Amino acid sequence: MTDFDFLTDVVDSSKVDYGEGPREEHSADWASELIGAGVTPDAVVTPTSTEDVSRVLEACDSRGVPVTPYAAGTALEGHVVPVERGVSLDTTEMDSVVDVRPDDFQVDVQPGVIGTDVDDAVERHGLFYPPLPSSGGISTIGGMIATDAGGMQTVKYGKIGDWVVGLECVLADGSVVRCGGRAEKSSSGYNLKDMVVGSEGTLAVVTEATLRLKGIPDEIRGARALFPDIDSAADAVSDAVRSEVDVAKIELIDDVAARMANEYLGTDLPDTPMVFLEFHANHGVEREVEFAEAVFRQHDVDEFKTASRERMEDLWEIRSELGFAVRSYDPSLHPVQAGDVAVPISRYPEMVKEIKRLGDEYDVLVPVFGHAGDGNVHYAPMADPDDQDQYQRAVEVYERAVERALDLGGTATAEHGIGRGKRHYLEREHGAEAVDVMRRIKDALDPNGTLNPGKVLPDED
Amino acid sequence: MTDFDFLTDVVDSSKVDYGEGPREEHSADWASELIGAGVTPDAVVTPTSTEDVSRVLEACDSRGVPVTPYAAGTALEGHVVPVERGVSLDTTEMDSVVDVRPDDFQVDVQPGVIGTDVDDAVERHGLFYPPLPSSGGISTIGGMIATDAGGMQTVKYGKIGDWVVGLECVLADGSVVRCGGRAEKSSSGYNLKDMVVGSEGTLAVVTEATLRLKGIPDEIRGARALFPDIDSAADAVSDAVRSEVDVAKIELIDDVAARMANEYLGTDLPDTPMVFLEFHANHGVEREVEFAEAVFRQHDVDEFKTASRERMEDLWEIRSELGFAVRSYDPSLHPVQAGDVAVPISRYPEMVKEIKRLGDEYDVLVPVFGHAGDGNVHYAPMADPDDQDQYQRAVEVYERAVERALDLGGTATAEHGIGRGKRHYLEREHGAEAVDVMRRIKDALDPNGTLNPGKVLPDED
């Protein structure tokens, strides 16, 4: 049994917690009710500086103590839940906006800053941070970088990684590394920044990030479109993207998800598939709205209504709450996992249809929604955990949908990441040779396997 | 002395050349007159398939034979020039456009495809490949990926790496690895794609790339602006970017570079600093042109003229030829190196001023031009190689400008890459810890140091 007193030798004792409550808390996250909780760490350390992180990692690494980074706990594949004991490294206290440089459209933040706090910090300069995920109001920037998160506006602006210019991070051995920089464009050396982005705390712990910002558009419009069936809705979205309608958000919500939203939020969405849209421009935004409507008319849209600013905010509130709505719909029905496939846009209608078909085939309730413009489908096969047969059928729907996405040239996870839950798809998606390269990189940067063990890479035989 | 007969055991003998002519040819590139030629390889191998590349690499790696990838030879830092003997691996025969998928905005190409040939292959679908560098008509896609090249349209669309969705590549040991895929969005595993992009053939040889395409804009306008002095021009560009004028190209050309263009091309550019612009939109392009002009008026612009389509093509032809114009200006004057710094956009005017000031201080002719909207300055201090004092002064101008760029939070190379010529800046820019990480990655993927030795990473002490 390791003695964990060494922790208070390297950081102030106020930052180290051996209490059962905090330790239990750090053994679970949002995904735990879906894929199970993890083991309870021996200690929770809450660093307040890069030096703290460096000292803790160096001390743990030299003693063979695993370190699992933790932040808001909103990950959906068990990324932050320890599979080995050791230290849970909670970065939520490192939550300062360090420097805003509006003239360069850049802001430096610590990893524990909540997504929307970045927007709040730069709004008075007329700027915003475009790629925030739907959980932007509760998730941390560090967590978003760890998963290379995407969001509703990824269709126009790209993912988190596209809006990170530079990083400061700490390797397992405690060395502090700067990746990228402040120049918007560089071909200098290997791209370490994008290697760390999306590596889910298995290669390094991010201690500061330089984010790229964008001017708030002068014109913003919202719209809601209703379709007679899911096929028309999916075809309409695919066609809009292929026609390059300039949308900032284009979200599909099927009738099942809409029903769940109504139950959970007391809203009155109609019982039919629908698409929510948002348009950003500095001028001429109406042209794009009209263009989108014209494309949708080709696909049997029943109703296409622009939304007032207030009504639009309501729509996005509904969309952001969908994950909660799905979980709260029926106390006896749980989503078996949070589906997150993406396929090339021309295959998007086929992918959506297949998921609905699988639901029918297996007689499983499957709400479908997501960032349609990216070819990204979220789906959540529902089952009663006490009904083993139903549960197994729901799991099969989940897995067969991933298989189909991969067959269509897609990905098992568009934005949630691999974590613990999707490791078995890694080789299927990328091939054994690519996984071997990932493993070589992991071994090169973290030879003792200290950082977030049991995540991303499948166990070796 | 190694016997190179093993090469014809692994690939057809028609693909192996031991002749002095081809070997000499592959010891030099565009940069050779600036930074010197390399050593002459023992053999030139011209693979025509991924399997060829794999077999040659495996055979060389197991025998300790260095392999230096070669393509069009247009790199500017000696990337493709061997510093050790061995094999020059010439990918120019792998020049097929493999598959166009217009509905997904994607095309698969082999590495030897010339940049503008991609545009030619997809134009009938109304598509184009936005990030091509100025040398797009002569450089290969493989070379562009190797350097993460940028171009005139990077200010709007991003760099080559942003437009690569997936790669097939071969490691030093011959294993074939697929990085990325066809989904436009994925958080699955480590980002190998962006690790290979920009690694200059030191980690892997790219054998196929899936590129992202874009619809040709409905409206394209060009403009030329003349300024009384370089400070106004630089201030105007910086202000335009910070005001988020939606430009597709915004290029600064100083009076010295304009003079050189006139000499070389017989054009009649006025003897004053100028900015060339291009605007892309599907509607409302005139609004952006007016906006740009309004911003420029704040900075003493002498003339702002929109250009006809034809006249605009002439402007870009001039801009693309500037590199040649600089080299041909005066037979006794050579650029000592091709400057390629970039700084955060708010520091761009300061950077430009500093380069001009250094030219004055050292009494050296320094044409200045480049992708101003990215904060990217190309500059070419000129000297007579036979005049050692002048040559040394020009080198100092070159180096002090890089130092200043780094002091301003910038990069030593925005788009050309490190190659052989800028290795000594790598640690200065990124820190010893980051360079150590790069070295660990190199060792993990190419433990025998087979691929492109002597590039990117500085020699170890």
- What does each C-alpha distance from B141 to B20, B155, B164, B171, B206 come to in angstroms? 27, 19, 10, 18, 10
How many CB atoms sit inside 10 A of residue B29's CB? 26
Q: Is A386 exposed, middle or buried, given 0-12, 13-18 or 19+ CB atoms closer than 10 A?
A: exposed
Note whether A217-324 and A330-418 share their fold. yes
Under a CB-based contact definition with an 8 Å cutoff, are residues A411 and B181 in contact? yes
Round to whole Å and give the CA distance between A437 and B175: 10
Distant-in-sequence, close-in-space partners of B392: CB < 8 Å, separation ≥ 6 = none
pLDDT band at B308, cuts 50/70/90? confident
Q: Which CATH class is domain B94-215?
A: alpha beta
8 Å CB contact of A198 and B182: no
Give the H/E segment covering residue B362.
Answer: helix B348-362
- C-alpha closest to that of B371 among B246, B250, B254, B226: B250
pLDDT on residue A443 = 98
Under a CB-based contact definition with an 8 Å cutoff, are residues B261 and B325 in contact? yes
Give the pLDDT confidence of B182-238 residue by residue, as tens digits: 999 999 999 999 999 999 999 999 999 999 999 999 999 999 999 999 999 999 999
Chain B residues in contact with A149 (beta carbon < 8 A): 187
- What does each C-alpha distance from A169 to A89, A182, A193, A429 come to in angstroms? 14, 15, 10, 28
A150, A184, A203: residue with CB nearest B375: A184
8 Å CB contact of B189 and A438: yes
pLDDT on residue A2 = 63
C-alpha distance from B408 to closest chain A C-alpha (Å): 9
Share of residues in chain A with pLDDT > 90 (%):
94
8 Å CB contact of B441 and A190: yes
Whether the CB of B176 is below 8 Å from some CB of chain A: the reply is yes
Q: Would you call B266 helix, strand, or coil by DSSP?
A: coil
Interface test with A, best of B437, B445, B455, B456 (most A CBs within 10 A): B437
Round to whole Å and give the CA distance between B4 and B66: 12
For the entire predicted model, the pTM comes to: 0.97
Whether the CB of B105 is below 8 Å from some CB of chain A: the reply is yes
Give the H/E segment covering residue B196.
Answer: helix B192-196
Give the pLDDT confidence of A211-248 residue by residue, as tens digits: 999 999 999 999 999 999 999 999 999 999 999 999 99
Whether the CB of B440 is below 8 Å from some CB of chain A: the reply is yes
Q: Return mean pLDDT, chain A.
A: 96
Chain A residues in contact with B345 (beta carbon < 8 A): 103-105, 184
Round to whole Å and give the CA distance between A224 and B308: 41
pLDDT on residue A33 = 80
| Chain A (286-305) residues lying within 8 Å, Cβ to Cβ, of chain B | 287
Round to whole Å and give the CA distance between B335 and B390: 12
Could you tell me which chain B residue has the CA closest to the CA of A190?
A: B199
- What does each C-alpha distance from A214 to A33, A80, A122, A278, B292 come to in angstroms? 37, 30, 10, 17, 18
Whether the CB of A183 is below 8 Å from some CB of chain B: the reply is yes
Whether the CB of A350 is below 8 Å from some CB of chain B: the reply is no
Q: Return mean pLDDT, chain B.
A: 96
Chain B residues in contact with A187 (beta carbon < 8 A): 147-150, 198, 411, 413-418
Report CA torsion sign: A7, A9, A13, A15.
negative
**How many residue pairs bridge chain A and chain B with CB atoms within 8 Å of each other?**
259
Round to whole Å and give the CA distance between B290 and A392: 62
**What is the third-level CATH fold of A6-92?**
3.30.43
Whether the CB of B360 is below 8 Å from some CB of chain A: the reply is no
How many CB atoms sit inside 10 A of residue A333's CB? 21
Q: Would you call A207 helix, strand, or coil by DSSP?
A: strand
Under a CB-based contact definition with an 8 Å cutoff, are residues A429 and A404 in contact? no
Under a CB-based contact definition with an 8 Å cutoff, are residues A268 and A298 in contact? no
C-alpha distance from A266 to closest chain B C-alpha (Å): 33
- Tokens for A182, please give them: 């402040």
Pick from A121-135, A296-310, B25-39, B372-386: least confident = B25-39
8 Å CB contact of B344 and A429: no
Chain A residues in contact with B343 (beta carbon < 8 A): 183
> Phi and psi at residue B57, in whole multiples of 5°?
-65, -45
Under a CB-based contact definition with an 8 Å cutoff, are residues B99 and B75 in contact? no
Could you tell me which chain A residue has the CA closest to the CA of B102?
A: A242
- One-letter amino acid of B64: G
Under a CB-based contact definition with an 8 Å cutoff, are residues A132 and A150 in contact? no
- Tokens for A453, please give them: 């063990």
8 Å CB contact of A177 and B437: yes
> Phi and psi at residue A290, in whole multiples of 5°?
-65, -40
pLDDT at B244 over 80: yes
Whether the CB of B175 is below 8 Å from some CB of chain A: the reply is yes
Beta bridge partners of A432: none
The region that residue A321 occupies, defined by phi over 0 for left and psi between -120 and 50 for alpha, beta otherwise, is alpha
Chain A residues in contact with B105 (beta carbon < 8 A): 242, 345
- Tokens for A319, please give them: 């969309």
pLDDT on residue B30 = 85
B415, B426, B444: residue with CB nearest A440: B444
Distant-in-sequence, close-in-space partners of B14: CB < 8 Å, separation ≥ 6 = none
> Phi and psi at residue B275, in whole multiples of 5°?
-130, 130
| Chain A (191-250) residues lying within 8 Å, Cβ to Cβ, of chain B | 191-192, 194-195, 197-199, 203, 214-215, 242, 244, 246
Domain A217-324 belongs to what architecture? 2-Layer Sandwich (3.30)
Round to whole Å and give the CA distance between A82 and A179: 27
- C-alpha closest to that of B241 among B140, B310, B353, B343: B343
Whether the CB of A402 is below 8 Å from some CB of chain B: the reply is no
8 Å CB contact of A346 and B104: yes
Beta bridge partners of B368: B379
Written in H, E and C, the secondary structure of B300-346 is CCCEEEEECHHHHHHHHHHHHHHHHHHHHCECCEEECCCCCEECCHH
Chain B residues in contact with A190 (beta carbon < 8 A): 195, 198-199, 203, 438, 441-442, 456
Query: CA-based Rg of chain A, rounded to a whole angstrom?
Result: 22
Round to whole Å and give the CA distance between A154 and B193: 19
Chain A residues in contact with B164 (beta carbon < 8 A): none
Under a CB-based contact definition with an 8 Å cutoff, are residues A31 and A75 in contact? yes
pLDDT on residue A56 = 98
Domain A330-418 belongs to what architecture? 2-Layer Sandwich (3.30)
Give the pLDDT confidence of B97-138 residue by residue, as tens digits: 999 999 999 999 999 999 999 999 999 999 999 999 999 999
Whether the CB of B445 is below 8 Å from some CB of chain A: the reply is yes
8 Å CB contact of A374 and B185: yes
Under a CB-based contact definition with an 8 Å cutoff, are residues A423 and A457 in contact? yes
The residue extents of the domains of chain A are: 6-92, 94-215, 217-324, 330-418
Give the pLDDT confidence of B418-448 residue by residue, as tens digits: 999 899 999 999 999 999 999 999 999 999 9
C-alpha distance from A199 to closest chain B C-alpha (Å): 6
- Tokens for A328, please give them: 């709260």
Whether the CB of B309 is below 8 Å from some CB of chain A: the reply is no
Under a CB-based contact definition with an 8 Å cutoff, are residues A205 and A446 in contact? no
- What does each C-alpha distance from B404 to A165, A181, A245, A421, B399 come to in angstroms? 20, 15, 43, 48, 9
C-alpha distance from B186 to closest chain A C-alpha (Å): 4
Helical residues (DSSP H) of A37-140, grouped into ranges = 50-63, 115-122
C-alpha distance from B430 to closest chain A C-alpha (Å): 6
Share of residues in chain B with pLDDT > 90 (%):
94
Round to whole Å and give the CA distance between B82 and B37: 9
8 Å CB contact of A183 and B105: no
According to DSSP, residue A91 is labeled G
Under a CB-based contact definition with an 8 Å cutoff, are residues A147 and A116 in contact? no
- Tokens for A394, please give them: 């729901």
- C-alpha closest to that of A15 among A95, A88, A111: A88
Q: Would you call B460 helix, strand, or coil by DSSP?
A: coil
Round to whole Å and give the CA distance between B28 and B80: 8
Pairing of strands B164-170, B205-212: antiparallel
8 Å CB contact of A178 and B375: no
Round to whole Å and give the CA distance between B421 and B419: 6
Residue-wise burial string across B38-55, b where 16 or more C-beta atoms lie within 10 A, e elsewhere = bbbbbbbbbbbebebbbb
8 Å CB contact of A244 and B215: yes
Round to whole Å and give the CA distance between B58 and B177: 14
Find how far residue A369's CA is from the centre of its chain. 15
**If you average pLDDT over residues B327-341, what whole number do you get?**
92
Under a CB-based contact definition with an 8 Å cutoff, are residues B157 and B374 in contact? no
Give the angle subtended at the CA of A293 by the CAs of A292 and A295, to the nearest 5°: 65
8 Å CB contact of B187 and A415: yes
Round to whole Å and give the CA distance between A321 and A330: 16
pLDDT on residue B2 = 64
pLDDT at A35 over 90: no
Domain B219-407 has CATH 3.30.70.20: no
pLDDT on residue B413 = 98
pLDDT on residue A249 = 98
Under a CB-based contact definition with an 8 Å cutoff, are residues A441 and B193 in contact? no
